[in-house]
Amino acid sequence: MLRDISITNSGYDESGASRTKNSMKGWNANSKSPQEDIDKNVSILRQRSRSLFTSAPIAVSAIKTSRTNIVGTGLRLRATVDADMLGMSHEKATEWNKKTQREFKLWADSKFCDSTLQNNFYELQQLVELSYLMNGDVGAIVQYDTKKKPCIPYGLKIHLVEADKICTPHSYGYVDLNAKASNGNRIYNGVEIDDKGAVQAYYICNAYPNSMTEANKEWKRVRAFNQVTGLPNVLMVYESERPEQYRGVPFLAPVIESIKQLTRYSEAEIMAAVINGFFTVFITTEKNPSEMLFGGVGEESQGDNLSDVGDYGLGPGMINILEPGEDIKMADPSRPTGNFDSFTSAYAKYIGAALELPCELLLKSFTNSYSASKAALEEAWKAFKMKRSWLANDFCQPIYEIFLHEAIGIGRIKAPGFFLDPLVKKAYCKAEWNGPAKGMLDPLKEVNAAEKRIKIGISTREIETIEQTGGDFDTNIQQLKYENKLMNEVIEKDEIKEADSIVE
């Protein structure tokens, strides 16, 4: 008997995988490869993301708030050479770090680091983050200027390329997942990969593929890595969601529809408020409409005299007599807007949860208690720190290592064994990238907590300086030393003057 009983439900078939429940019958999900799911749709996602960035306030807030907290004024290099590995004393390691930071600052502060001569390195970081959030990814091509300039000894330049220009040759904005290179490698949306799935090259158009302003469009194949040095020629900055994914997805992609609907709702409420600000009167009459005093705009004849046209209007305390059969009806275009704020806030929480942005940050409204606001900022800071680390690893650190190759190669920085042993090279390239601090809701509480963390040994002054102010502890110590010296000199002079006055 038991053999005749067929099993109809097993495991998730009764819940998330059910095809019989009424709530699941219309849900025909059919996910495919990352290229089919992402690459085929990424173009329209970019266009809609840009549209929201230019027209939807909450989208602008989401992108710019993330950019400001992740990058701020720029992630600053803090060289931390591995002294133990290299057998360097603490003093020599400190000296090498300062020398290297000084050299890097010479290059990074200059606009010569940008191939377009528009931005310094820290502004390039802001542009990279903004472009990644808006478009899903951005390319950074490593270039060298062979013409040395007297003001800058380095030829290294970074050329940023927007996502649209990295595409399959002659695709003109359309995605062909069957495209192949002349060597037989597959090309996915401008990214050439070998039979093992490793990136080999990128195809970059000299203009925007779907733009009508450029007549001649040419695609250039750029190797992903330099065959001699092994250094990257192209840095593709994006956040992977799935294995074997080669192009990024815009930050707003999961909430594009939600933000658009919220924007439409906001615009409708604003228009209703504007209309409600007008005082509209309808006159009902039994007369022929052609005899109405307030008609449409008639055609002007050459002999019309504007002084003969009556001027009718409403004024304070006016008494008007209507014609027989006429009556006044007041138009009331008002609509309930009392729920606008509560609905918008609730919807912002819904959107913010998907973007890892608390409602307080998304709307810039800190009306809750200190504990609630503090918890919201702490939760947001986890996401910001993760994204900052990702940006440093994918953009800042590789460029710093490329810079070191040139600086050491031309003799500006001394690093024995750098080109001989990869482990030695790794030791010299060790660095940290520090950005803006997370801010403090109650500075006194934050400082007292930092003091206790240092006292019990779970933190250091250096860590707390970075976390609380984004500054540098060594620099602060040197400055305090100088300031204390000046203060002591002033105090001594005041004491001498006071003593002289007592003697007199």
pLDDT tens sequence across 332-364: 656 655 688 888 889 999 999 999 999 989 998
Estimate to the nearest angstrom the gap between the alpha carbon of 256 and the chain centroid.
15
Q: Which residue from 346, 339, 338, 335 is spatially nearest to 271, judged by alpha carbons? A: 335
Task: Indicate the DSSP class of residue 7.
Answer: P
The residues facing 78 across adjacent strands are 432
Model confidence at 290, pLDDT cuts 50, 70, 90, reads low
**Three-state SS across 407-447?**
HHHCCCCCCCCCCCCHHHHHHHHCEEEECCCCCCCCHHHHH
Q: Which amino acid is at 143?
A: Q
Q: What is the mean pLDDT of residues 380-385?
A: 92
Residues with Cβ within 8 Å of 376's Cβ and at least 6 positions away in sequence, in order, are 358, 359, 360, 361, 368
pLDDT of the residue at 216: 83
Residue 66, CB half-sphere, CA atoms under 13 Å: how many? 25
Query: Whole-model pTM?
Result: 0.81
Q: Which residue from 73, 57, 422 is spatially nearest to 229, judged by alpha carbons? A: 422
Residue 306 has pLDDT above 60, yes or no: no
Q: Are 204 and 139 in contact (CB under 8 A)?
A: yes
pLDDT tens-digit series, residues 140-182: 999 999 887 888 999 999 999 999 999 999 887 678 888 899 9
State the Cα–Cα distance between residues 415 and 99, nearest whole angstrom: 12
Kindly write down the DSSP assignment for every residue of 447-458, as one continuous string: HHHHHHHHHTTS
State the Cα–Cα distance between residues 105 and 76, nearest whole angstrom: 9
Extract the tokens encoding 418: 């750098």
Question: Which of the two residues, 32 and 336, has the higher pLDDT score?
Answer: 32
Q: Are 129 and 67 in contact (CB under 8 A)?
A: yes
Q: Are 467 and 437 in contact (CB under 8 A)?
A: yes
Q: Are 373 and 441 in contact (CB under 8 A)?
A: yes
State the Cα–Cα distance between residues 218 and 233, nearest whole angstrom: 19
Model confidence at 310, pLDDT cuts 50, 70, 90, reads very low
Task: Indicate the DSSP class of residue 294.
Answer: S
pLDDT of the residue at 454: 85
pLDDT of the residue at 495: 64
DSSP3 helix / strand / coil % (the chain, rounded to 5): 45, 10, 40
How many C-beta neighbours within 10 Å does residue 242 have? Answer: 11
State the Cα–Cα distance between residues 489 and 486, nearest whole angstrom: 5
**Phi, psi at residue 468, to the nearest 5°?**
-85, -35
Radius of gyration of the chain (CA): 33
Residue appearing with tokens 């931390």: 80
- Look at strands 191-193 and 327-330 and give their pairing: unpaired
Residue 115 has pLDDT above 60, yes or no: yes
pLDDT of the residue at 296: 46
